[in-house]
Structure 1
């Protein structure tokens, strides 16, 4: 079935085309719990099962994508777009333009989990209208969007944001990337009148670590909340070595209280088998690796991560370091294995809440 689905369907006059694609991510996690807090339990699950159709329709690009791994389907990219030279206008639901780590597909990120900065600050898939373009190593993008998505309609509000950057070096194996992003979001009545509360609760021990959530921000009184976000990013590629780092934050204000979240990470990868990490200068992001050998490509990964949230009287933080190895068996097949050591702290009380280690793995197929 997947082989048939991967074959593009083209209309006779080429005005209408359709190509099917998808991904399967099967994740597993084993935990090393200390004697503080609630223990995490070993688990495994089909984390992602996406199906999509994309193509052209009389001069317009389109994409319809859904996640079918959960109890009910969830819409991802659902949009139409039109290009005008180096500029593209997109309308519908699409991933918003914020952070280098979030702009890359989960098929291509080098660690099982994204950075905490991407998990907490990136707006991900929202309904809106966006514009993006590129010119001589510069890329830019901006959008106005609703805080609702097709499936999360209880989050009320509106927002605008943008991301821009420059890659003075952008050849294969020789990349320097600089970027920045800003966003302003306005949440209507969080916690009242049918609107969802506004909470920032990253799973610091990974996808299966529900007991290690860190409740950084919580607005549920019904007062409107204004949020200002920023992010700074830098990355470099030299042969098989790539370096990447970001720092960002958000300020929350409902007129009576404020909260602040700051986060940053540093990440390094090293391809042992002669490949170099692919970079798309037009979009300012990393893309899919194609192994140079029939035996596949091997990659080592290391990352340090930090996040802190302050909302009186809370002051909570988390730190983690991750090491991992990836085997790219083919361009569309990968096996990942990470070890992450995490620590949650209550900074106001000057005490460690818990320390949890997690061994996370993934078998990934995409087409």
Structure 2
């Protein structure tokens, strides 16, 4: 059945797949909900967005995305409270960031009204895929790819913006062990580290696999020039608690401007915790671990929320972190999720209600 909203063509699925899904045993990102959005850019403008049943898309082997990597994406989540209301968390930040990423890769920016109309349309149609309760969410993946045919080394003249959704639980089910990078780099000055470009993540896989062979789940990346300063960890921003201070690296053209990161900084400052946003030296953290001042380290990101680290490896020496009662990581995860699930006051105005009924 085809219908039309304010600006979107809608074709509803005839047969929902929701009853085939075991929501208690989800592999992150493996199962997609019933509907997706596609919108094509041709002849210098974006066409009419379409919400369709989720399914494969035919593409030419010569599509530019396959040859020159013109692809950027975002990660968001929808949450359902105990009354069945559906909430997004700071979605305008995601919209702004995907267009910042797109601009860096010479991709045309996507219209704001299309973005939000598409999000709300999909969430209304697939509201039953959003399960209530802390830890449950619908992960939302907007992305855009270059679709022009031809293998000449130039920007695509055609693009497709797509939104798909996946029911999700926690990305990490337990604390992780990490190693500090000394050889490989995630990104470099003047590059695309600040953008959610697909190639950033592909470049991480090989060194991360090497770390996994040694028993570590992720890599804390260091600056490409000297490997002396700590930056990100895997797909997350990273925080260090030294004494009662919380330290995290400043954003720059190598580091993603994480939305969860910004939210934790705001929550910590509101809680009276001193936060230092500055370059954090490897030797500083190693020394703090040796003298007992390093209380905790945790990663922060949309998929992961907040993940505590058990310890870290540097120069073939493993530093185990202490078990801390009332840890900052645990405290701010609770505060963050209470806002996301409409269980606490939202003094920051971060929640965005989606009217699904």
**TM bracket (short chain):** under 0.3
More strand by share: 1
TM-score of the two chains, using structure 2 as the length reference:
0.24
More helix by share: 2
Higher RCO, 1 vs 2 (CA within 8 Å, ≥6 residues apart): 2
TM-score of the two chains, using structure 1 as the length reference:
0.24
